[in-house]
Structure 1
Amino acid sequence: MTYKEKEIEKKYFSIGEVAEQLNIAPSQIRFWEGEFDVIKPQKNRNGKRQFTKEDIEKLKMVYHLVKEKGYTLQGAKQMIKNNNKGLKDKMEMIESLEEVKAFLVELKQKLDNQ
C-alpha cells in the first residue's frame, strides 16, 4: 500500500465538529463536560478542546441516556458508573442496527424506482 492509498485518520475533533455529529449545541457539550466525569477532552495550547473518538463515544452514551431515553443527569451518571461496559455494547448494537436500517431503506427506494 502506497502513501497515497493510506487513509488519513483524524485523531482530534473540535467541539464544533462533535456538536455537528451529535446535532446538539457546543454549549450542551461544555455543560455535559462539567457534569460527567467520563468526559475529559484534551485542550491544546490555546485552550481549545480536542475530542478523540473515545471522547465522542462517551458523549454519544450521555446523549443516548439523556436525550433518547429520558434519564435525568443523576440517573445517567449512575448508569454510566454502574454499567459502562453493558451500556457501551448496547450503544454499539443500536448503531449497527441503525446502519442496517438505513441500508435497507436505501435499497427499498432503489427497488421502488426501477
Structure 2
Amino acid sequence: MGIEDPLPNKRYFGIRQVAELCEVAPHVLRYWEEEFPDLAPLRRGGNRRYYRATDVHLVRRIRYLLKDCKYTIEGAREQLAGGTDRTGPVEELREVRRELAAIRDQLDGPPAGRKP
C-alpha cells in the first residue's frame, strides 16, 4: 500500500473497504476520526460512515505519518496542519544520502589541480 496507490472508481467507500485499502483496522479509523478533525466522513441513515476519495487519501497520509515516519498523534496533526513542507524524517534522510554521495564522488575523483 502506498500513499498514492489508485483507488477504485467509486464515489463513496464503507469503513470496511477503507480499512482494507489503508491496511488499518476499522476501530483505528474510528479513533482517528476523534483525533484528526479533518477526517470527517459523511454519515447517513443508521449513522453509517461514507468515506470520499479525499478522506481515503487523508487516512493514507495519517497512516504514513504515524507508521512510517513514526510521528505521534500530535506530531502528525501538526504536519497535516501545515507545520512544515517536508514529508518528515524520510525526506531528510534522503537529502543526507545525496550529500554523502556527492562527497564520496569528490573523494573518488582525481586530486584537485592535477590532470588524470
Judge same fold: TM > 0.5, yes or no: yes
Tell me, in whole angstroms, the C-alpha distance in 2 between the residues paired with 1:56 and 1:23.
11
Question: RMSD over aligned Cα, in angstroms?
Answer: 1.9
- Say if 2:74 is the partner of 1:74: yes
Structure 1's consecutive aligned runs of 4 or more residues displaced over 3 angstroms after TM superposition are none
| Identity across matched positions, percent | 29
Task: Kindly provide the amino acid, as one letter, of the partner of residue 67 in structure 1.
Answer: K
Tell me, in whole angstroms, the C-alpha distance in 1 between the residues paired with 2:37 and 2:31.
12
Q: Unaligned stretches of 5+ in structure 1? A: 1-7, 91-114
Deviation (angstroms), 1:40:
0.5
| Residue pairs, 1:42-57, within 5 angstroms | 42-57=42-57
Q: Unaligned stretches of 5+ in structure 2? A: 1-7, 88-116
In the alignment of these two chains, the number of paired residues is 80
User: Does the residue aligned with 2:47 lie in a helix, a strand or coil?
Assistant: coil
Give CA deviations for 1:23-58 in whole Å, capped at 9, x if unaligned: 110000000000001100001111100000000011
TM-score, with structure 1 as normaliser: 0.65
| Residue pairs, 1:1-114, within 5 angstroms | 9-83=9-83, 86=85
User: Does the residue aligned with 1:46 lie in a helix, a strand or coil?
Assistant: helix
Tell me, in whole angstroms, the C-alpha distance in 1 between the residues paired with 2:57 and 2:37.
14
Tell me, in whole angstroms, the C-alpha distance in 2 between the residues paired with 1:62 and 1:82.
13
Tell me, in whole angstroms, the C-alpha distance in 2 between the residues paired with 1:9 and 1:19.
17
